[in-house]
């Protein structure tokens, strides 16, 4: 792991966290309230006042470095190529997670699985484009 990869991973972590937080605040929070399907206990957990900071740090770093690793392995070097390869990975990743949860639990309603997937795919795709651009800076084809 070199310095460029480490810095890219950290920047990607922050960009992905900000994009997902924005999607939650501006779209998902109200949407989940108006489309509940989960148990009362799950709703309490979803809307608890206290964030478990250490767990948020681990999940954010893990996702940021997963995104950075995927972009490095894809060979994407520009924002545009990151969008292309990033969308493919994000679509497959979040479709697997969200539709798997929908199929096997009561976490999502049918409407919310599509809205959450769209938000998650968009945030990850944009973060992957940022990672590709950062990894490709200074490189020529």
pLDDT of residue 131: 98
SS (H, E, C) 32-100: HHHCCCCCHHHHHHHCCCCCCHHHHHHHHHHHHHHHHHHHHHHCCCCHHHHHHHHHHHHHHHHHHHHHH
- Please list the pLDDT of the chain residue by residue as tens digits (141 residues): 699 999 999 999 999 999 999 999 999 888 887 877 666 776 676 667 788 889 999 999 999 999 999 999 999 999 999 999 999 999 999 999 999 999 998 778 889 899 999 999 999 999 999 999 999 997 655
């Amino acid at each position: 792991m070199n310095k460029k990869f480490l810095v890219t991973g950290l920047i990607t972590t922050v960009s992905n966290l900000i994009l997902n937080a924005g999607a939650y605040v501006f779209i998902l929070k109200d949407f989940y309230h108006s489309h509940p399907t989960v148990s009362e206990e799950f709703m309490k957990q979803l809307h608890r006042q206290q964030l478990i900071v250490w767990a948020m740090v681990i999940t954010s770093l893990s996702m940021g470095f997963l995104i950075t690793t995927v972009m490095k392995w894809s060979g994407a070097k520009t924002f545009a190529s990151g969008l292309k390869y990033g969308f493919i990975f994000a679509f497959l990743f979040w479709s697997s997670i969200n539709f798997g949860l929908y199929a096997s639990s009561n976490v999502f309603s049918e409407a919310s699985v599509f809205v959450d997937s769209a938000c998650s795919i968009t945030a990850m795709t944009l973060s992957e484009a940022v990672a590709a651009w950062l990894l490709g800076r200074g490189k020529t084809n």
